[in-house]
């Protein structure tokens, strides 16, 4: 057997180590074959516009997704952690120091919060104290939100997979590719709108080209999209844990 020179062995080890580091970093380059798309789903070789179309289609047809991060809308920052499917969703929303849970099953929307949230709502945001006794009774209960109540329109969108994804996944401006990256161990291709000012989107290069990380245009929040296709239970709360005010919430 022919002996391998030690210098060549050291170079081979160095190359292997550099490739391993590239996989764990944020930007990826091709190792060995020199092709960064080797062993991927091939989406990275497509145009930015085609990648965006593919990922939108993948997101629309997926049965479930988990969406977490921040969204800035009309100057207000919302922190979301929602699990969504076609017929509803569940999770938490935090805004202006107030946190609450949302649960929608079909058309039935439920809101669960602590007494402080309900006292603030009852005070109609005018800085005056609300009915703390009534708020205490609502703490920890699922309050059914009537479909005709203004709160229904305001909150139900957070539980609607199609509405959220349609509104979030679009990039603004001229589309372009911005290299290969890594999100939690998954290789991605990044596309941008208007060189990044119109938003950025990391798309999986492994399996189905799902969107994995979204940077919204104008620094309007960052969202992670995970658990694609993973089912979760979605059932209405027990009646003993539910308050139903009928046509309109008392605080509306």
Give the DSSP per-residue string, 153-204. HHHHGGG-HHHHHHHHS---SSEEEEEEEEETTEEEEEEEEGGGTT-EEEEE
Residues 6+ apart with CB under 8 A from 28: 22, 36, 179, 180, 181, 182, 187
Whole-model pTM?
Answer: 0.79
Grade residue 131 by pLDDT with cuts at 50, 70 and 90. Answer: low
Degrees (nearest 5) of the Cα angle 150, 151, 153?
Answer: 70
User: How far apart (Å, rounded) are the C-alpha atoms in residues 111 and 142?
Assistant: 5
Summarize pLDDT for 182-210 with one digit per residue, the tens: 999 999 999 999 999 999 999 999 999 99
DSSP category for residue 239: G
Between 175 and 247, residue with greater pLDDT: 175
- From 20-34, 67-81, 108-122, the region with the lowest mean pLDDT: 20-34
Alpha-carbon distances, residue 210 vs 29, 34, 110, 113 (angstroms): 21, 25, 29, 33
Summarize pLDDT for 167-187 with one digit per residue, the tens: 888 899 999 999 999 999 999
User: How far apart (Å, rounded) are the C-alpha atoms in residues 133 and 119?
Assistant: 9
Q: Quick one: pLDDT at residue 175?
A: 97
Q: Quick one: pLDDT at residue 249?
A: 63
Alpha-carbon distances, residue 224 vs 26, 200, 202, 242 (angstroms): 15, 12, 10, 31
Residues 6+ apart with CB under 8 A from 174: 193, 194, 195, 198
Mean pLDDT, residues 71-97 taken together: 93
Express as a percent the part of the chain with pLDDT over 70.
79
> Which strand (E) or helix (H) includes residue 93?
strand 88-95
Between 118 and 75, residue with greater pLDDT: 75
pLDDT at residue 221 greater than cutoff 50:
yes
pLDDT at residue 120 greater than cutoff 60:
yes
| Spacing of C-alpha 170 from chain mean position | 14
User: How far apart (Å, rounded) are the C-alpha atoms in residues 159 and 133?
Assistant: 29
Q: Quick one: pLDDT at residue 94?
A: 94
Locate 88 and state its tokens.
């509803």
Grade residue 121 by pLDDT with cuts at 50, 70 and 90. Answer: low
Q: Quick one: pLDDT at residue 20?
A: 43
Q: Quick one: pLDDT at residue 252?
A: 45
Q: Quick one: pLDDT at residue 1?
A: 46
Q: Quick one: pLDDT at residue 109?
A: 96
For 55, phi and psi rounded to 5 degrees?
-70, -35
Q: Looking at mean pLDDT, say which of 69-73, 79-83, 127-131, 169-173 comes out highest.
A: 79-83
Q: Quick one: pLDDT at residue 136?
A: 81
């Amino acid at each position: 057997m022919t002996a391998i020179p030690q210098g060549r062995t050291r170079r081979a080890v160095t190359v292997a180590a550099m490739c391993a580091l590239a996989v764990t970093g944020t930007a990826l380059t091709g190792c060995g074959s020199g092709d960064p798309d080797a062993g991927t789903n091939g989406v990275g070789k497509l145009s930015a516009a085609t990648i965006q179309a593919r990922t939108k289609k993948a997101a629309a047809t997926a049965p479930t997704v988990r969406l977490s991060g921040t969204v800035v809308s009309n100057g207000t920052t919302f922190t979301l952690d929602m699990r969504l499917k076609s017929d509803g969703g569940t999770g938490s929303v935090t805004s202006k120091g107030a946190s609450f849970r949302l649960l929608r099953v079909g058309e039935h929307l439920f809101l669960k919060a602590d007494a402080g949230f309900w006292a603030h709502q009852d005070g109609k945001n005018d800085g005056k104290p609300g009915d703390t006794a009534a708020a205490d009774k609502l703490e920890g209960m699922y309050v059914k939100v009537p479909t005709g109540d203004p709160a229904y329109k305001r909150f139900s969108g957070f539980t609607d997979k199609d509405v959220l994804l349609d509104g979030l996944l679009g990039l603004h401006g001229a589309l372009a590719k911005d290299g290969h990256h890594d999100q939690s161990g998954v290789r991605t291709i990044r596309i941008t709108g208007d060189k990044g000012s119109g938003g950025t989107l990391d798309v999986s290069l492994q399996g189905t080209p799902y969107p994995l990380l979204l940077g919204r245009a104008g620094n309007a929040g960052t969202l992670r999209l995970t658990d694609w296709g993973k089912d979760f239970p979605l059932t209405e709360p027990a009646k003993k844990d539910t308050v139903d005010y009928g046509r309109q919430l008392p605080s509306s």
